[in-house]
């Protein structure tokens, strides 16, 4: 056993993304000595936070980069809608209210905000964008933490937690024992643990293991080691391991860290077929920003976990430019050949769709009257025939953003064992987001939860460390 | 909507069996990177490059040249990039842009063959200075037989007659201005954005004089050694630029004195040309010294390392122009004035000779790119992307 850091640290923070950094900064500001353990090497630090771009914020009047108002009740109703009620109102409202006041603190630690990016006008009211995105935010927090004297160790993945009747004693990195008076866990979900994903998604009726074909949109370091350790330690859990934020991304996306740019945003402008060249869902059900998060699961349920988004020349340029060029052909047959799907079946599907289109007045900014009739599944809006070459096709596969399984918490972000809160073990970020966001998603809410509960966990960990110390002296 | 102009251009080119000029490897790398950036857009707030990018769906040669010169190499987007190395996408915008930018100086250069001087620019600058020094030292020897003389009370023209100096510097300066002007005009015409409105010109002037895009978009400055922001690069640029302009003003005022009023040098220490020159000289010492220090500390992934000799050569030229000028002022009443004068004139000649074929060009190309942007942004966006989550 090595004792690398003699003396017990007040607050140990496990993790290196937004929630962990917020916790570390708050604990340090409260006067605690803080050690932060990031599993990744420095160049990959920050976890999924490096891929984020904004924070959903409540505000009662226009505020610097935020337009109009987004009151607590509306935010809460949005959350209620996307989660279908799988949320804890008390904790959700806590996060919502915190989101209205945390930005000055964020600025103090070097985070810069900017108005919503081009192509995201619909978020200008509700979401404050980080200038440069999440990695710029992560960099700012690390700089601030270092300046304040938070000790940071990279490549320090925690394997297990030493507990004594629900009280945190130490964390283990390999054979090194790191003791602390209090601890905040903010080490992310388990989305990059392929085996766990495989087990959670199981085997389908075709004998496939769907999760084997998923890409992970974020960090490769969220392996869920602490989540598993806490399950084994008997902590109270929340959420379903098979639930995850899952979107349809370009099938050529890298296995990890593809981030935002691998999204394919032309689904509602054309049709989507599976590998048998059959349509399987209403592509025009609702505006794309409200529907993109269901398409990962839809594609995951198709054979081979693959889909093909098909558009014609009329759609080109009406959506965010994709990161990879699509297959491009002047005939449907050639496009099918390039995509590796059955030509005859594909041409038949497109012809049936084209014949069923009732074209009214196309308008992508409203739920227009262009729809199909007598087709199953129907396309209920933006249905224009696919008839103008060049045709383009993009292969889609499911991309996991994060998982929902987490640790149950109270308003102090304390970990619970059989409904009893731990006096000195706290949790923040993806590891507990499921308390507020049991399923579904709305842009920027992950950062709202991470920031709020990171700050709460940090403050309470510092208080717990002080208390532990005075008990020890007494 | 796809850019109608781009579609029309594509159709016309196809019909005519004509292809757009092929991108070279460096330009193709910028195109590859911008395709990724255009699907991400997180960096839109930093500078003009990214808003200009979002007005395009594809990037041809002219687009790449324009955006490369619009990039101020501030480094902000590299440190903020989720796709920067070691990510397999290996996105490094400032580096890709810098590589293309140097190529544009050389490709647009006039006369064409002289464009090569941008490559191995350290040698170009060294040779120009060595030549300038040799020229004036030999001249001084020829004129007076020795480099030292009895004090002449600062009368330069006793050593090098006024008309001789004019006949040597005026053609070199005019050639430099012409060569640079033709190069920048070629860059402008490659994709002319249309007529400049008064507002566009005013905005460009503001952005050039204030170096707006070295403020990071948030006012805290750009990156140099790491992901922290610093205003040092902007301030040292200002000291250098305004120092240079004050020296230029000093020379202009002296020219007026000479030709209009018939007042011949030397001028008193309290005279306008000397005061302007001294103030400018001080700026031109501190500014380049600071820029050199920043250049030494620069993050290794910023910009194109192959261009460091060009950057440092230019910085050194400016610094020594000022240093030798101030030394001449200090020693103008001593027997060493002739030597000091020859050295100063030699360095200035080196600066003038390399003006159109060195780092000096970056200010002109970037100003032209900023004016293109100021014109372009006032036109309707040809790409109507409005759908995102």
Domain positions in chain A: 9-188+405-473, 247-399
Domain-embedded: residue B288: yes
Residues 378-437 of A with CB under 8 A from B: none
Residues B129 and B41 in one domain: no
* Long-range Cβ contact pairs of A228-232 (< 8 A, separation 24 or more): A228/A190, A228/A196, A229/A159, A229/A160, A229/A161, A230/A161, A230/A185, A230/A407, A230/A415
Q: What is the pTM of this model?
A: 0.94
Residues B210 and B346 in one domain: yes
Reported ipTM: 0.95
Domain of B122 in residue numbering reads as 112-360
Q: Across A97-234, where does the E strand assignment appear?
A: 113-114, 127-130, 151-153, 160-164, 167-173, 176-185, 215-216
Residues B87 and B212 in one domain: no
Domain-embedded: residue B313: yes
Residues B215 and B288 in one domain: yes
Give the minimum alpha-carbon distance from A265 to chain B in angstroms, rounded to a whole number: 7
Give the minimum alpha-carbon distance from B306 to chain A in angstroms, rounded to a whole number: 24
CATH number of A247-399: 3.90.700.10
Q: How many Å apart are CA B258 and CA B339, to the nearest integer?
A: 24
Contacts of A325 in chain B (CB under 8 A): 35
Contacts of B57 in chain A (CB under 8 A): 316-317, 321
Per the structure, the count of domains in chain B is: 2
Structure tokens at B23: 């991108």
Contacts of B11 in chain A (CB under 8 A): none
Q: Which residue of A has its CA nearest to B54?
A: A118
Domain-embedded: residue B283: yes
Residues B98 and B146 in one domain: no
Residues B87 and B225 in one domain: no
Domain-embedded: residue B375: no
Which residue among A133, A320, A365 places its CB closest to the CB of B385? A320
Contacts of A51 in chain B (CB under 8 A): 82
Beta-carbon contacts of B307 under 8 Å, excluding residues fewer than 6 positions away, are B98, B102, B121
Domain-embedded: residue B383: no
Handedness of CA A316, A319, A321, A325 (dihedral sign): negative
Contacts of A260 in chain B (CB under 8 A): 39-40, 42, 82
Distances (CA, A) of A109 to A25, A51, A64, B132: 9, 19, 18, 52
Residues B302 and B162 in one domain: yes
Residues B275 and B200 in one domain: yes
pLDDT tens across the length of chain A (474 residues): 344 445 789 999 999 999 999 999 999 999 999 999 999 999 999 999 999 999 999 999 999 999 999 999 999 999 999 999 999 999 999 999 999 999 999 999 999 999 888 878 789 999 999 999 999 999 999 999 999 999 999 999 999 999 999 999 999 999 999 999 999 999 999 999 999 999 999 999 999 999 999 999 999 999 999 999 999 999 999 998 888 899 999 999 999 999 999 999 999 999 999 999 999 999 999 998 888 889 999 999 999 999 999 999 999 888 999 999 999 999 999 999 999 999 999 999 999 999 999 999 999 989 999 999 999 999 999 999 999 999 999 999 999 999 999 999 999 999 999 999 999 999 999 999 999 999 889 999 999 999 999 999 999 999 999 997 766 554
Give the minimum alpha-carbon distance from B286 to chain A in angstroms, rounded to a whole number: 29
Domain-embedded: residue B44: yes
Tell me whether residues B42 and A133 touch, CB distance under 8 A: yes
Residues B50 and B72 in one domain: yes
Residues B96 and B129 in one domain: no
Residues B65 and B102 in one domain: yes
* Residue ending a domain, choose from B85, B108, B131: B108
Q: Where are the alpha helices (DSSP H) in chain B?
A: 4-15, 25-38, 49-53, 61-70, 76-79, 93-108, 121-144, 162-190, 198-210, 232-256, 272-297, 308-330, 337-354, 361-376
Tell me whether residues B44 and A117 touch, CB distance under 8 A: yes
Domain-embedded: residue B381: no
A377, HSE (Cβ side, Cα atoms, 13 Å) = 14
Residues B147 and B28 in one domain: no
Give the minimum alpha-carbon distance from A409 to chain B in angstroms, rounded to a whole number: 29
Which residue among A53, A254, A325 places its CB closest to the CB of B42? A53
Domain-embedded: residue B389: no
Phi, psi of A193 (to 5 degrees): -95, 95
Contacts of A288 in chain B (CB under 8 A): 387-389
* Long-range Cβ contact pairs of A129-132 (< 8 A, separation 24 or more): A129/A53, A129/A54, A129/A65, A129/B45, A130/A52, A130/A53, A130/A54, A130/A55, A130/B42, A131/B45, A131/B46, A131/B217, A131/B218, A132/B42, A132/B43, A132/B45, A132/B46, A132/B76, A132/B77, A132/B79, A132/B80
Q: Which residue of B has its CA nearest to A366?
A: B387
Question: Which one of 3.30.70.20, 3.50.50.60, 3.30.300.160, 3.40.50.10540 gives the CATH number of domain A9-188+405-473?
Answer: 3.50.50.60
């Amino acid at each position: 056993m090595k004792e690398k850091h003699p003396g017990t640290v007040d607050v140990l923070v496990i993790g290196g993304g937004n929630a962990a950094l917020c916790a570390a900064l708050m604990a340090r500001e409260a006067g605690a000595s803080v050690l932060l353990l990031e599993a990744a090497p420095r160049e990959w630090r920050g976890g999924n936070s490096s891929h984020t771009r904004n924070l959903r914020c409540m505000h009662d009047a226009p505020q610097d980069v935020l337009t109009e108002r987004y009151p607590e009740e509306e935010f809460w109703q949005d959350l209620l809608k996307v989660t279908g009620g799988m949320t804890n109102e008390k904790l959700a409202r806590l996060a919502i209210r915190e989101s209205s006041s945390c930005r000055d603190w964020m600025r103090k630690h070097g985070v810069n905000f900017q108005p919503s990016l081009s192509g995201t006008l619909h978020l200008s009211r509700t979401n404050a964008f980080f200038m440069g995105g999440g990695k710029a935010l992560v960099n700012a927090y690390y700089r601030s933490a270092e300046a304040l004297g938070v000790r940071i160790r990279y490549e320090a993945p925690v394997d297990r937690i030493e507990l004594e009747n629900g009280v945190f004693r130490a964390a283990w990195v390999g054979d090194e024992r790191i003791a602390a008076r209090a601890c905040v866990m903010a080490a992310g979900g388990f989305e990059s643990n392929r085996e766990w994903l495989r087990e959670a998604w199981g085997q389908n009726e075709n004998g496939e293991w769907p999760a084997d074909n998923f890409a992970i949109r974020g960090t490769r370091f969220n392996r869920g080691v602490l989540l598993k350790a806490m399950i084994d330690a008997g902590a109270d859990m929340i959420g379903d391991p098979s639930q995850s934020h899952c979107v349809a991304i370009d099938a050529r996306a890298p296995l990890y860290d593809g981030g935002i740019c691998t999204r394919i945003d032309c689904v509602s402008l054309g049709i989507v077929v599976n590998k048998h060249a059959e349509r399987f869902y209403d592509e025009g059900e609702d505006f794309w920003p409200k529907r993109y998060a269901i398409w990962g699961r839809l594609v995951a349920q198709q054979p081979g976990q693959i889909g093909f988004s098909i558009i014609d020349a009329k759609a080109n340029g009406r959506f965010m430019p994709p990161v990879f060029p699509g297959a491009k052909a002047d005939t449907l047959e050639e496009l099918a050949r390039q995509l590796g799907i059955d030509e005859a079946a594909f041409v038949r599907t497109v012809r049936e769709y084209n014949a069923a289109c009732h074209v009214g007045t196309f308008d992508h900014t409203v739920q227009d009257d262009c729809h199909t009739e007598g087709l199953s599944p129907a396309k209920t809006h933006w249905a224009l025939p696919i008839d103008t070459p060049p045709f383009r096709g993009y292969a889609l596969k499911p991309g996991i953003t994060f998982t929902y399984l987490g640790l149950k918490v109270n308003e102090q972000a304390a970990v619970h064992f059989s409904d009893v809160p731990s006096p000195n073990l706290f949790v923040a970020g993806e590891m507990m987001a499921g308390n507020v966001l049991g399923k579904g998603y709305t842009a920027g809410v992950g950062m709202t939860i991470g920031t709020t509960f990171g700050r709460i966990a940090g403050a309470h960990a510092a208080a717990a460390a002080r208390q532990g110390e005075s008990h020890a002296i007494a | 909507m796809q850019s109608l102009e781009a579609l029309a251009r594509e159709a016309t080119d196809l019909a005519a069996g004509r292809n757009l000029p092929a991108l070279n490897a460096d330009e193709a790398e910028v195109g590859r990177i911008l395709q990724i950036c255009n699907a991400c857009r997180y960096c839109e707030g930093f500078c003009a490059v990214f808003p200009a990018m979002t007005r395009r769906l594809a990037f041809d040669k002219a687009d790449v040249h324009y955006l490369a010169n619009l990039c101020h190499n501030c480094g902000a987007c590299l440190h903020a990039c989720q796709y920067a190395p070691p990510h397999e996408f290996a996105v490094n915008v400032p580096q890709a842009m810098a590589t293309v930018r140097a190529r544009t100086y050389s490709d647009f250069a006039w006369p064409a063959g002289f464009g090569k001087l941008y490559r191995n620019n350290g040698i170009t600058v060294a040779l120009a200075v060595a030549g300038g020094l040799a020229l004036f030292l030999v001249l001084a020897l020829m004129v007076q037989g020795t480099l030292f003389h009895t004090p002449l009370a600062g009368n330069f023209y006793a050593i090098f007659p006024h008309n001789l100096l004019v006949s040597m510097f005026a053609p070199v300066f005019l050639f430099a201005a012409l060569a640079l002007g033709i190069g920048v005009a070629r860059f402008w015409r490659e994709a002319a954005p249309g007529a400049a409105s008064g507002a566009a010109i005013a905005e460009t002037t503001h952005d050039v004089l204030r170096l707006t895009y070295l403020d990071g978009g948030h006012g805290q400055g750009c990156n140099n050694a790491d992901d922290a922001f610093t205003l040092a690069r902007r301030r040292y640029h200002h000291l250098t630029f305004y120092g240079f302009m004050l020296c230029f003003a000093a020379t202009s005022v002296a020219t007026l004195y000479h030709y209009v009023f018939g007042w011949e040098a030397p001028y008193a220490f309290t005279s306008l040309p000397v005061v302007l020159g001294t103030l400018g000289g001080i700026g031109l010492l501190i500014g380049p010294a600071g820029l050199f220090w920043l250049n030494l500390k620069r993050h290794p992934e910023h910009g194109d390392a192959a261009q460091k000799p060009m950057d440092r050569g230019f910085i050194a030229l400016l610094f020594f122009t000022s240093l030798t000028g101030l030394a001449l002022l200090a020693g103008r009443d001593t027997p060493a004035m002739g030597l000091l004068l020859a050295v100063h004139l030699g360095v200035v000649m080196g600066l003038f000779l390399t003006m159109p074929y060195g780092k000096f060009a970056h200010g002109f190309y970037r100003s032209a790119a900023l004016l293109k942007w100021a014109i372009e942004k006032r036109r309707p966006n040809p790409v109507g992307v409005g759908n995102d989550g």
